[in-house]
Every structure is written in structure tokens, then in C-alpha cells.
Amino acid sequence: MKMVSKHFLLRGSGLLILATAGMYGCKDFLTNASQPQGTLNQTTLATRDGVEGSLIATYRTLDCTNSMRRLGGWGCAASNWAFGDVPSDDTYKGSDHLDQAPINDIEAYHWANPGAFKYLQDKWDQVYEGVVRANSTLRLLKEVEGSNPSEFSLADANGIEGEAIFLRAHYMFEGWRMWGSIPYYREEDTDFRKPNEDTSAVAADLLKDLDSAIKLLPATPRNGQKGRATSWTAKAYKGRVEMYNHQYADAVATFKDIVSNGPYALQANMADVWTAFFNKENGPETIFAYQASANDGEPNAANANEGERLNFPYSPSHFACCGFNDPTQNLVNAYKVDANGLPLSLSDPTWNDSDAEFVAGNMTPVDPRLDWTVGRDGVPYKDWSLYSNTWARDKSNAGPYSPKKNIHEQASGAETTVGWQPQQQSSMNIHLFRYADLLLMLAEAEIETGDLPGALALVNQVRARAAAAAQGCGFSSGSDVATKYPQCAGDTRMAVPINDPSITWAKYDVRPYPSFPDANYARAAVRTERRLELAMEGQRFFDLRRYGMAVAKQVINVDYLPKEKVRRAYLTDAEPIADRHRWFAIPASEIDLSKVGGTPQLTQNPGW
């Protein structure tokens, strides 16, 4: 397989297109030939290289490509920030009100508006492009095996089949948690005008695919290439599907096997979770991630973190653009802790009362994960410099804070040198599922099956890692860190003990829960922990809906919107979420395209 940079993405876009095209004509074909020379179809691609290339193309669809952004949106971002963060209480759309205006409709829950449909269409396209590519790979594999049985070893054939089936399940999972009732396509389907399956049937199909993938895949990445799915990846996804389908006892069994026998572990500290340092990527916490690649010969850095490129601080920061997906005041307040080092939101109903910008020097005790997640004024911003609220593009629209997890470190050397606004592009991987997420899902499942001590131990394991380190000085030559904090001169450490004497900008505290006295308290604690640990990773809104619409309505309509409508005037336009918001609206164009004899095969979700 052709290797590019440090990841297994193929250079350029040609093979990506070929993986799904029925025919691709090269510009230099001989027009007087009976069969145009240089034309590639499925038969031409039915080679070992064609199969492997088709599989790589299936992985590539995990994040945005130019072909998926045909409506100009970013609904195809691997992180799901437009759907998992922006409609939640974690982030504002950001930027100014006019830039990427369709996201305003996602944020305000106007999902039947034409603007919202543009982003929803991008996501639908990504889901089914991934499914088509996975199924194309499976068909090509069968064709090659039929014509040349010795082309692949049994191990390679099983591995390729298992990876393709797993990837199909990943994309269908993404569609399922977006829309619920969706059509499920396999490699033998020839007519794509299929009706929706109900949500329980989709869950059954997902589990069937994942069980097949578990049996076929090796326990370690094929060819030793990190980023490829393994049997453990598929098993982790199986538990994830079981959780989303409220099969709690099954999820406990699945996850406990992974915890006891699998290859995963928490990273030593939060600095090593979201990182662009090559020697720390794909660490023991990574279950599945989009493998971004930069400076690999692609002239526009299209293999880098394309879907995240808007989510960087604006000028005058180093990154210069674009100020999207900004943390809410609500999220910042959620990191405050009480005198016992536990989340203030669990014990004090006034936890979210403060509207004041939370800046360096405010010694209100906070969970150190705040400064791994949020860029806030006067606090070191990884190893770039001090974050400044002047980097916020429009504070009246988006507040004074910026995302931080997705920012590559200056010292990593991962920043690209080509393309539009290259400062935003890097080879930082995008986590799609990580071990802390799995542990907290297992804790959830144990609560629902009556094991409160087991859930307590898991939550405290995640909290112990949170207590391991806080943002340090991150001194770099030319930065302004030592100007404000003289003790930081020459101190390049980005991760330091939470009570390190170099820290004078914050007071950090995070301690274990002494007990879970009852299931209701335990449930609230785990849900709070998921928010603090996974904030701005595209999980929050999916979690709220998964908990049930009664929970989602309480969080958004009661705890979030009334206060935020005062903080951000534009949110006065937001409608309260209702039962119809359990699922996103299916793009209207897809319903039109599904017609057979004038009758749509796809049915719109209730209320849309």
C-alpha cells in the first residue's frame, strides 16, 4: 500500500473518486479506440490495489472532502461539531451571525428551514458516501477472490472484509443517531430507493454487522498500520450501539470484556489526549479516530483536519480565522467545583448565575479540564501564547472564549504549509471514540443495572486522570507568557501538576466522589462527568437525546435557553425543543429522490 506522511491516506483525490464512481474517464484516452483507453470501471479496479485503494477511500470519508461540501457547509466534519455541540448547551455557532448562516437554524432548532437542510444534506451525503464506498470495497473483494483466489491470503481477505463491514456500521451508526429511521444498505443492494427501517431494525442491523466484523478482524491493526479498525474497535462500537439502544445489560457485558481483556487505557494526562505530537497520537486511549495528514504532497492540505478548520481563534491570533464553535458561558460555569472538589452544578442551584467572563486570576476553584477545553483570557493557550479575548471574532454573537482541544501544539510541527489559511490545518487526529467515553458509558450501564459501586469506581478513574495535570506555562520563544507570568520564562511544560507553583492564573481542584448514595444522584454525576470530559467533542447533544427527551427538554428549555437568551440576544429566536427534535429532519431532496412511481419510499421523521 502506498504510504503518505505518517498515516495511510492516499495522496490526491483520484482514487477516492474511483472508489464510488461507476466509470472514470481520463482526459488522455484514445477516442478512436473501441474501448476508451484509461477508462476505469469496477472491472478495471478489480485488482489487489483497487480493493486496498477502495478501502482507504472508505476511511477517507470519515471527514470532509470537497465533494461532500457541495453545498458549502461543514456538516461532514468528523467531530460532528455542527450537530453534537452547537445545538447543545456546550457551544455557540460562533463567528458572526451572517457567516455560515445555515448553522443558525441548527442552533435555534429550526430544522425544517432551508438553511438547516444544507447542513443536514452534507451529513446525509457523508453517511451514504461512506456506505457506498464500504459496499464497493466488499464487491471488489469478492470479484477479485472469484477471479484470482490466491490474490489475498485468508488473513488479508478477512481483514479487508472486516474493515469494510465495520466502516459501513460506523457510517450507518452516524446516520442512525442523527435520523433514527433510515435505510440500511448492503453490498447486494442495487436499487437505492429503499424505505426507512425503524430505529430498532437499524440497531439490529448494526449489531449484525458489528458481530460479523468482530469475527473477521484481527486483534491488532492489519499491516501494523495504526488507525485501521480491529476486532476490539468493532467490539467497542457494539457496546456503543447497545447503549444507544438502551440494552444496558448487554452493554455491561460487552464493555467489561473490553476493560478486562482489551488494549485500551486512559492516557496519563489530558494533554496527551488531543494532541498533534506524532509520538503521542493513536495512544492507548484511542479506539477510533480520523487519521489526519498534513504536508503529504496534497496541494491544499485536504487530508488534514478539514472539518475542523473553522474552529480556530480569529485574528489577531496566529490562526487568523474563523471563530466558530465557541464555548458557552454555561459550559465554562459547569467546570466550577465546590469545597469538596466536586461539580458545583450538582450541589448549588446558582452554579450558572454568573454572566461575567471567566478570566485568568479569578481564583474560583475549577476542574482543570476547563483549561484543556476552553481558551480564556490570560491563560496559556497550549504552547502558542496567552489566549486573548480579542481573538474572539464577535463577542456579542459568540462570547469571549475559543475551542482548544482541536488546536495543534506549536512544537508538534504538525501545522501545514499549503492551502487556504494553513495555520488552521494540521495532522491532528480527530477522536471519534475514545476510552474515557467507553468507561463513562459503562458507568451509565452499571447504574441502570444496579451496580452503583462499579459505576463509582469508573467515574473516579476518569476523575483521577483529570487530576493528573493542568495547563502549564507552555513557554515558547516570542510568546507573551513570561511577560505576564515571569515565573514562566523558559518553562516549556504544557502539562504540570494541578498545584504546580508556576500556576498563578487559576485554582484547580478535582477529587473523587466519596459515594453514590442512590441511582438518581449517580445518574446525574455520570452525565455531568461525560459533559466535563467530552465537552466540544461532538457528543453532548447526542447524549442528551439518548438520555430521553424529558432530560433534553429540561437541559435545553429550562437550564440553558432562558439564561443564554439574555447573554446572547440572537438566541431569542431559538424555539424550545419538542418531541420532534428527537431526530433531525431528513433532507427533503432525499425524500424526492426516493420516489418510485411518484411515491416516496423515504418517510420524513415525525413533526418535520
SS3 letters across 247-299: CHHHHHHHHHHHHHHCCCCCCCCHHHCCCCCCCCCCCCCEEEEECCCCCCCCC
- For residue 486, what pLDDT is reported? 98
The pLDDT score that the predictor gives to residue 558 is 98
Residue 66: the pLDDT is 73
Q: What is the mean pLDDT of the chain?
A: 92
Confidence (pLDDT) at 12: 32
In angstroms, the CA 196 to CA 188 distance is 17
- Work out the percent of the chain whose per-residue pLDDT is above 70: 92
Question: Which residues have a Cβ under 8 Å from the Cβ of 374 and sit 6 or more positions away?
Answer: 327, 331, 332, 335, 401, 402, 403, 404
Distance CA 571, CA 348 (A): 25
Mean pLDDT of 376-405: 97
Using a 10 angstrom Cβ sphere, with 0-12 exposed, 13-18 middle and 19 or more buried, the burial of residue 492 is: middle
Residue 10 has pLDDT above 80, yes or no: no
Band (39; pLDDT cuts 50, 70, 90): very low
Q: What are residue 525's phi and psi, to 5 degrees?
A: -65, -45
Q: Which of 3-7, 9-13, 184-188, 240-244 has the lowest mean pLDDT?
A: 9-13
- In a 3-state reduction of DSSP, which class is residue 23? strand
Q: What pLDDT score does 67 carry?
A: 72
User: β-strands 324-327, 402-403: how paired?
Assistant: unpaired
Q: What is the mean pLDDT of residues 145-152?
A: 96
Please name each of the domains of the chain with its CATH number: 14-268+582-593 (1.25.40.390), 306-416+427-551 (1.25.40.390)
Sign of dihedral through CA atoms 585, 589, 593, 595?
positive
Q: Identify whether the C-beta of residue 143 lies closer than 8 Å to the C-beta of residue 48.
A: no
Model pTM greater than 0.85? Answer: yes
DSSP class of 341: S
Distance CA 313, CA 401 (A): 9
pLDDT score at 308: 94
Q: What is the pLDDT of residue 432?
A: 98
3-state secondary structure at position 568: coil
Q: Residue 13: which pLDDT band, with cuts at 50, 70 and 90?
A: very low
pLDDT of residue 205: 98
The answer to whether the CB of 499 falls within 8 A of the CB of 507 is no
**Three cell numbers, residue 56:** 482507504
Confidence class of residue 391 from pLDDT cuts 50, 70 and 90? very high
pLDDT of residue 527: 98
List the one residue out of 408, 331, 324, 415 whose CA is nearest residue 374.
331
Query: Residue 285 and residue 266: Cα distance in Å, rounded?
Result: 5
Question: Would you state the pLDDT for residue 23?
Answer: 26
Q: What is the pLDDT of residue 536?
A: 98
The pLDDT of residue 503: 98
Nearest Cα neighbor of 252 from 459, 447, 542, 527 is 447
Mean pLDDT on 104-122: 95
Residue 22's pLDDT band, with cuts at 50, 70 and 90, is very low
